[in-house]
Amino acid sequence: MPSKIIFYNHFHRGDLHTHKEFVKQIMRELPDFEYEYKHKNPRRLTDDYLVPFTGTPDGLSPKEKMYAEGDTMWINTWVGSDWDIFCKHGGINMNTLHEQWYNIFEAINFHFHTELVLDKVKENYLPKMNYQSMSSLGIQKYLDKSIGRGKMLICNNVPNSGQSFPHTMEEYILPLARENTHVDFIVTNPLHEKLNNLYTTSEIIGNVGETDLLEISLLSRSCDVIVGKNSGPFVFCETYDNLMDQEKVFISFNTKNPQYDTIKETMSNGLDLKCKYNTVPIVDNTNLSDDDRINILNAFINI
């Protein structure tokens, strides 16, 4: 009976994206193993891992890092499962992921007598997407008619984990869209006004079922500026191709932890990225302070 590794995750959609290259390395270097992935999100979010989705992780501990029995190992891929490492590096970033998966690789090697080696170049673990299975017809139609226009993708959704503010940023986006008619403003959540240069991602992509996060990621490849709140749609835009593109500009509105001098919970932390990546501190997610509002406005204007 072949050895088996079962990956599982109890949390949200963005939590399935950031660690994907670690999973793919294990599967690539241990091809004789059997694999499964259990999570509570749409199955297509892990389709390009080429790992079978086998349902929800009911009965598996959301806090246990990993455990093994005989020829099977269960691995919790949630970045917060190793809380000491999570706190050590300030939350979700590649420093946290790299150390977490170093320990996972060591555990696999110990249990199965394998020789997995973690790449020391952390940038190599930025997510790489396989877009071939995604619905691109609507995106291509939009791109064909918008040749030569600037494109700003704004992920103005409500974050699921409280990592940024819930507002749609309508009061900042609409005035800028009116003033900059040569730029297309593309939002993930609709606003209350319709402009000729204002689109929603759903208008462009069309209906693709339970989630269009993969298509938003595909669309982001053709956008000059990507704005977000360190949440689902924005996280799926944080790919190797985008972050290593020197022509791209990212703006990430992040909760500022008062214990740190800088924002640490961002995939830009500690990496040698080629894009221009700007983190904007948000002190009060519930009721934006005057400083928060000024920071948001200036971040848009400075583009």
What is the β-pairing status of strands 4-9 and 72-76?
A: parallel
Across 225-251, b (16+ Cβ under 10 Å) vs e yields bbbbbbbbbbbbbbbbebbebeebbbb
> What percent of the chain has a predicted confidence (pLDDT) above 70?
98
pLDDT at 9: 96
Using CA atoms, how far apart are residues 51 and 48, in angstroms rounded to an integer?
A: 8
> What phi and psi values does residue 237 have, to the nearest 5 degrees?
-85, -15
pLDDT, average across residues 162-184: 88
What would the CATH number be for the domain defined by 136-301?
3.40.50
Q: Taking residues 108-113, what's their average pLDDT?
A: 96
pLDDT of residue 167: 80
Of 53, 52, 7, 2, whose CA–CA distance to 32 is shortest? 2
d(CA 34, CA 27): 9
CA distances (Å), origin 169, targets 25, 185, 248: 39, 12, 21
pLDDT for 160 equals: 67
Cα–Cα distance list, 155 to 121, 144, 152, 205, 243 (Å): 29, 22, 10, 15, 16
pLDDT at position 161: 61
Q: What is the pLDDT of residue 131?
A: 84
Q: Check pLDDT > 80 for residue 257.
A: no
The pLDDT of residue 162 is 63
Q: For residue range 28-82, what is the model confidence (pLDDT) as tens digits?
A: 999 999 999 999 999 989 888 889 999 999 999 998 999 999 999 999 999 999 9
At residue 163, the pLDDT reads 64
Residue 232 has a pLDDT of: 83
Distance separating alpha carbons of residues 120 and 271, to the nearest angstrom? 12
- Cα pseudo-dihedral 224, 230, 236, 237, rounded to 10: 10
Residue with the two structure tokens 């059997």: 34
With a cut of 90, say whether residue 188 has pLDDT above it: yes
Confidence of residue 5 (pLDDT cuts 50, 70, 90): very high
Q: How much is the average pLDDT of 84-99?
A: 92
Domain extent listing, the chain: 4-122, 136-301
Beta bridge partners of 231: none
pLDDT at 285 over 70: yes
Residue 88 has pLDDT above 80, yes or no: yes
* The predicted structure's pLDDT at residue 245: 97
pLDDT at 303: 83
